[in-house]
Structure 1
Amino acid sequence: MRIDRYLKLARLIKRRTAAQEMASVGAVRINGRQCKPSSEVRAGDVVEIAYPSRILTVEVLCDGENELKRCAPGEAYSVREERRADPEEKPW
């Protein structure tokens, strides 16, 4: 599944266009590598998302579109780490 679609369906980012923009500017990484909005994400991958005030690292638990639509919030991923981002420094 595309990373932008996954972020939207897993409720990590509210809009798919916002997920696309974040991936384009480098605020999303899959397994430590910068990705494009069309990059594929699979179960077991580690995704890092740099929000303006924090950095969230999650592990993908389910990656099927139908699974994600039926999942309750938080069942699509497990949080590995959450830390504050320095506002004066870009995380990537």
Structure 2
Amino acid sequence: MITFMKFSILMLLVMHFYYFTVRFRYLSSLLVLEVMVLFLLLMIISFSMMFLTNLSLFLFVLTLSVCEASLGLALLISFVKLKGNDLISSGVMK
């Protein structure tokens, strides 16, 4: 179980650094953020199994991640409709 938590933390850090390489496209950025949330959920599950606690924190974070994903997808669709692509430029709000 400890190796699973170390793997989750390592992958969370890798995705955090990978986020800075794909920050010029909205879709890639949203996908990296969703993978980070997935590894966070895996860490919460492993913590709850290790300490024999309930999964209420898991359900709370899962609910927030679903809301975040739907909001991000809605913003991405509206931005692509408005601009025509998902490239992030410095003058986005002009």
Q: Tell me which protein shows more strand as a share of its residues.
A: 1
- Considering the TM-score relative to the shorter chain, is it more than 0.5? no
Larger radius of gyration: 2
Q: TM-score, normalised by structure 2?
A: 0.24
